[in-house]
Amino acid sequence: MIPLADAQAAVLAPVEPLPPVRVALADAHGLVLAEEVVAPEPVPPFANTAVDGYAVRASDTASAPVRLRVVGELPAGAAPGRAVGAGEAIRIMTGAPVPPGADAVVMVEVTDAHGDEVVVHESVAPGANVRDAGGDLEAGARVFGPGTVLTPAHVGVLASLDRHEVVCHPRPRVGVLSTGDELVERGPLAPGKIRDSNRPMLRAVLAEAGCEVADYGIAPDDEHEIERRIARAVDECDLLLTSGAVSVGDYDYVKVVLERLAARRPGSGHRWVQVAIKPAKPLAFAHVGRVPVIGLPGNPVSSRVAFELFARPVLRRLAGHGDAGVLPVPVRAVARSGFRRRPDGKLHLDRVRVSVEGGRLVCERAGVQASNVLSGMAAANGLALVPDGEGVDAGDEVEVLLLGPPA
Ligand code: AMP
Ligand code: MG
C-alpha cells in the first residue's frame, strides 16, 4: 500500500494543463485565464456621479445653505451638455457624467427643490460624490494575468472592457465508461442484474465541476469490447474515467486493456496501486499517449471517493489551476460523536454530515459506512479524514473534505 499523497502525486505527474483556446466570455465562467488582460480604456470611461443630486461648483456651497439656479438635468446615459456656471446647478442621476464646470455633486437628501432653484443645506468639498474616469481601472493597466480563475466578477470586468472572447484553458472533455455484465441502464431487473449508478453519478459530478461529458455507456465484461470503447474514448477525450473491473476478479479487464493500449502508444504509462485508504484502495491509472485514464473502483462509494481524491485533481490540473488549487483542501470540523476505528494502516474517509453550530463546523457520521451503500454517500456532504489508529473522540477536531455546502 502507498500513502494517499504518493498516489495523488503519481497520478498527477504526467498531467499537464490543456493548451489554451479562445473562449466566448459567456462560456468562460470558472475557467482559468491563459493571457494577460490589459485595459484598453479607462473604467469608468468618464467622471460620473455616485449619487442622485445636483452637480455644482464646490466653492458655491462653501457658505451653505445656499440657493442655486437649476439649469438642466442629466439622467444616466445622457451626454453632458451645458456647463455648470457660478451660482448654478444641474440635476443629475447616479451614473450620469459630471458636466463641465462642476467639480462636485450634492446629494439630493441635503437639498430642497423650489421650482427652478435648489437650496443646498450642506457644503461639499471638490470631488465629493464624483467617481473619476479610470478610478476603477486606468487605461493600460494590467487587469488579470494567466492563472486567474474567472469568477462572475471577472466576467463582469472583462465585459466592461469590451472583451467578448478570452484565452483560457478549456473545459476538460471527460469520458465515462461503466463496466460489468451485471449492469443495466434502466427498467426491470433480470436475475443477477443491477442498475448502473456510477455513470449517472460521475456525469453529475463532472457537470457540477464544469466539464464536458462524453458517455461511453456500459461495457460488458468482454476484453475486446472494453478495449474498443477505451481506445475510442482516449482519442476523443482529455480524461477517461472507467468504473469497475480494476480489482483482482476473474473478469477485471480494464487493467489488461490499459496495459495493452499504453504499450502501443509512445509516451504512455500505467500503474496499478493499492492506496492506504478506505474505501477506494485499488486504483488503476494510466496515460495513453497524453490522455490520463483513471480506473475507478466499481463499488459506488469507492468510485465517488476516488473521484474526489484522484480524478478531480487531474481535472483541475488539466483546466490550468495552479498547484495550490489542484489537490482538495480539507477544513477542520468538530466531531459531534466519536469516530471509532481499528488500526489497519489506512486513512479512513468516513461519510459525514457537516453543519454549522455556533459559527463552527461540526460533523458526524452519516448513513451506512460501507463502500457499496451509495445511499450513505447521498446522506453525506463531506468525507472525514480519520487517520490510522483508534479514531477520533467526540469533541476533537477532524479534517473534512467538503463535498457540498454545510447543511
Ligand atoms: P468490480 O470492481 O467490477 O468488481 O465491481 C465491484 C462492485 O461494484 C460489484 O458489486 C459491482 O456490481 C459494483 N459495480 C460496479 N460497477 C458499478 C456501477 N457502474 N454501478 C453500480 N455498481 C457497480
Ligand atoms: Mg465488474
Q: Domain containing 141 — which CATH number?
A: 3.90.105.10
pLDDT grade for 340, boundaries at 50, 70 and 90: very high
Residues 25 and 151 in one domain: yes
325 class by beta-carbon count within 10 Å (0-12 exposed, 13-18 middle, 19+ buried): middle
Can you give the pLDDT at residue 339?
A: 94
pLDDT higher than 90, residue 94: yes
- Residue 407, domain member (yes or no): no
Can you give the pLDDT at residue 80?
A: 87
Quote the DSSP letter at residue 39. -
Can you give the pLDDT at residue 352?
A: 97
The sign of the dihedral angle between the CA atoms of 397, 402, 406, 407 is: negative
Amino acid symbol at 397:
E
Residues 307 and 174 in one domain: yes
DSSP 313-380: HHHHHHTT--GGGTS---EEEEESS-EE----SSEEEEEEEEEEETTEEEEEE-S---TT-HHHHHT-
Q: What digits encode the pLDDT tens for the residues 281-296?
A: 999 999 999 999 999 9
Average pLDDT value over all residues in the chain? 97
Residues 162 and 89 in one domain: no
Closest ligand (CA of 297)? 1
- DSSP helix/strand/coil, 58: helix
Which of 243, 272, 305, 374, when mutated, tests ligand 1's pocket best, judged by the most ligand atoms within 8 Å of its CB? 243
Distance CA(330)–CA(351), nearest Å, equals 14
Owning domain of residue 245: 4-19+170-325
φ/ψ region of 369 (left if φ > 0, alpha if ψ in -120 to 50, else beta) reads beta
Residues 307 and 349 in one domain: no
pLDDT higher than 90, residue 272: yes
Can you give the pLDDT at residue 252?
A: 86
pLDDT higher than 90, residue 268: yes
pLDDT higher than 90, residue 315: yes
Can you give the pLDDT at residue 251?
A: 78
DSSP 239-304: EEEEES--SSSTT--HHHHHHHHHHHSTT-EEEEEEBSEES--EEEEEEETTEEEEEE-SSHHHHH
Distance CA(140)–CA(124), nearest Å, equals 32
Residues 175 and 159 in one domain: no
Cα 298 to ligand 1 centre (Å): 4
Can you give the pLDDT at residue 250?
A: 79
Which of 177, 198, 281, when mutated, tests ligand 1's pocket best, judged by the most ligand atoms within 8 Å of its CB? 198
Distance CA(364)–CA(339), nearest Å, equals 8
Q: What's the pTM?
A: 0.94
Residues 205 and 78 in one domain: no
249 lines ligand 1 (CB under 6 A): yes
- Residue nearest atom 6 in ligand 1 by C-alpha distance: 298
Q: What digits encode the pLDDT tens for the residues 16-64?
A: 999 999 999 999 999 999 999 999 999 999 999 999 999 999 999 999 9
Can you give the pLDDT at residue 364?
A: 97
203 lines ligand 1 (CB under 6 A): no
Residues 207 and 284 in one domain: yes
234 class by beta-carbon count within 10 Å (0-12 exposed, 13-18 middle, 19+ buried): buried
Atom of ligand 1 nearest to the CA of 196: 20
Rounded to 10°, the helix 254-264/223-236 angle is: 50
Residues with Cβ within 8 Å of 225's Cβ and at least 6 positions away in sequence, in order, are 219
Closest ligand (CA of 183)? 1
- Residue nearest atom 14 in ligand 1 by C-alpha distance: 298
Residues 60 and 206 in one domain: no
Please count the structural domains in the chain.
Answer: 4
- Residue 64, domain member (yes or no): yes
Residues 36 and 93 in one domain: no
Atom of ligand 1 nearest to the CA of 221: 3
Q: Phi then psi for 312, rounded to 5 degrees?
A: -60, -45
Question: Averaged over 220-233, what is the pLDDT?
Answer: 97
Q: Cell digits for 305?
A: 471517493
Residues 194 and 230 in one domain: yes
CA nearest neighbour of 299 among 377, 233, 225: 377
Neighbouring-strand partners of residue 68: 118
- Residue 143, domain member (yes or no): yes
Quote the DSSP letter at residue 108. G
More confident residue, 4 or 250: 4
Residues 226 and 113 in one domain: no
Q: What digits encode the pLDDT tens for the residues 231-252?
A: 999 999 999 999 999 988 877 8
243 lines ligand 1 (CB under 6 A): yes
Neighbouring-strand partners of residue 2: 275
Residues 35 and 176 in one domain: no
